[in-house]
Amino acid sequence: MARVVIKFGGTSLGSIEKITNVASLIKKKKTNNDEIIVVVSAMAGQTNDLIEKSKKISKNYDKAELDVLLATGEQMSSSLLSAALIDQGCKSRSWLSWQIPIITEGPHNASRIYRSNTDEISKFLKSGGIPIIPGFQGVSNIFRLTTIGRGGSDASAVAIAKFFDADFCEIYTDVEGVYTTNPNMHSQAKKIDKISYEEILEMASLGTKIMQASAVQIAMLNNISIHVRSTFSEKEGTKILPDAKLDYEKSVTGISFSKNDAKVTLIGVKDRPGVAAKIFEPLGQNDINVDMVIQNISPDGKETDVTFTIKRDQLDQSIKLMNDIKTKINYKKLVYDDKVAKVSIIGAGMIVSPGITYKMFKSLADANINIIAISTSEIKISVLVNEEKTSEAIKILHKNFNLD
């Protein structure tokens, strides 16, 4: 008998008919006598609807109150699914985050789960019950509702798998697993049968929306195996496993892309110790995440051009912050480009495969795609290209790295 945590995303719970279907799926799994803990997201579109309602009340909606509002989406899913299971003859009940409790720390709208009580739910499991837990939320140490960021139900599921010592965690979504690239962008994309924590973490951080990056981190740190699969298909999905359990037949496992980036360049910055810290300090203080950073120093070493990328929706704020520190930094000119995209190749096999960088750059050059910026890690190479070239870049790299 295994103990498994199963998480269902918003698209899996998008209607009453789908919730009934999910209940049937869980009931079928329960015939194996496994202990099943279910974690749910809000119904598809529910969280966005709640956010829109909050904006109609106030442009500066109190963050603590926003958490109370947003948490209702998952609470509704919990009750509906539990009731559907009961209607199908199963023993089930919903637990809200404060009833368990699931304890979080950190700011409202971006908290982190760090502890959970397991006593009552463990007793319920042993009695044959199926507990339903809302993802995306918890309570602070002063007993206020908190949320853990968009997509946080994945992190909730993996954290609960950790606290309840589950054998594995299944993430049910509307696709059949992790693909070599987005199937909507390239018809030749293939489902990946097995992938490492490191690879899926890179893919998640680079724009692949299958799993939240923080959920993968929790799984990697606690050695929790994850199975990503479709609610609407009985096919095997993608297993996310420790690196040691994988054989790397190909140097590149997949290709990710992000089309919500922007590039900012400060031209003619006086080059002196500490200038980079002064540039990036206000960005960090305003929670603006910087991705790529490139510095070009003039031949005489007196001036430098500093280029960095940020998310497109933070461009206006970033420009304002750079204008605010212009006299302090003493740069000559600021230019920006909000029509860029980041395309990345990912693969743990890249570590032992020479020539990957050359092959990527040559592939793009042959397709007349200009590289604007580059960043690398041991298992990832990312390039910034003109947004109009995104699809073309994905297709040529997918083909040349034998992923079609």
Give the residue carrying structure tokens 């993802």: 135
Is the pLDDT at 208 greater than 60? The verdict is yes
- The residue extents of the domains of the chain are 3-174, 255-400
Residue 218: closest CA among 127, 112, 85: 112
pLDDT at 128: 95
At residue 300, does pLDDT exceed 90? no
Round to whole Å and give the CA distance between 355 and 372. Answer: 20
Name the token pair of 127. Answer: 């009695």
Is the predicted pLDDT of residue 134 greater than 60, yes or no? yes
pLDDT tens string 246-285: 666 778 989 999 888 999 999 999 888 888 999 999 999 9
**Which of the two residues, 65 and 296, has the higher pLDDT score?**
65
pTM assigned to the model: 0.80
For residue 70, the surrounding DSSP H or E stretch is helix 63-87
What's the CATH architecture for 255-400? Answer: 2-Layer Sandwich (3.30)
Q: Does an H or E element contain 362, and which?
A: helix 356-366
Please tell me the predicted confidence (pLDDT) of residue 259.
86
Please report which confidence band the pLDDT of residue 184 belongs to, taking 50, 70 and 90 as the band edges.
Answer: confident
So what's the pLDDT on residue 93?
Answer: 97
Distance CA 191, CA 23 (A): 26
Q: Please name every residue paired with 168 in a beta bridge, in sequence order, or none if there are none.
A: 4
pLDDT digits (tens, 9 = 90+) for 226-253: 999 999 888 889 999 876 556 667 789 8
What's the CA gap between 44 and 97, in Å, rounded?
20
Instruction: Report yes or no: 319 and 336 within 8 Å, Cβ to Cβ.
Output: yes
Percentage of residues in the chain having pLDDT higher than 70: 98
Same fold? 3-174, 255-400: no
Could you tell me the fold of the domain covering 3-174? Carbamate kinase (3.40.1160)
Average per-residue pLDDT in the chain?
A: 91
Q: What one-letter code names the amino acid at 118?
A: T
The pLDDT value recorded for residue 202 is 83
**pLDDT tens by residue, 76-94:** 999 999 999 999 999 999 9
Chain segment 309-343, per-residue pLDDT in tens: 999 999 999 999 999 999 888 899 999 999 999 99
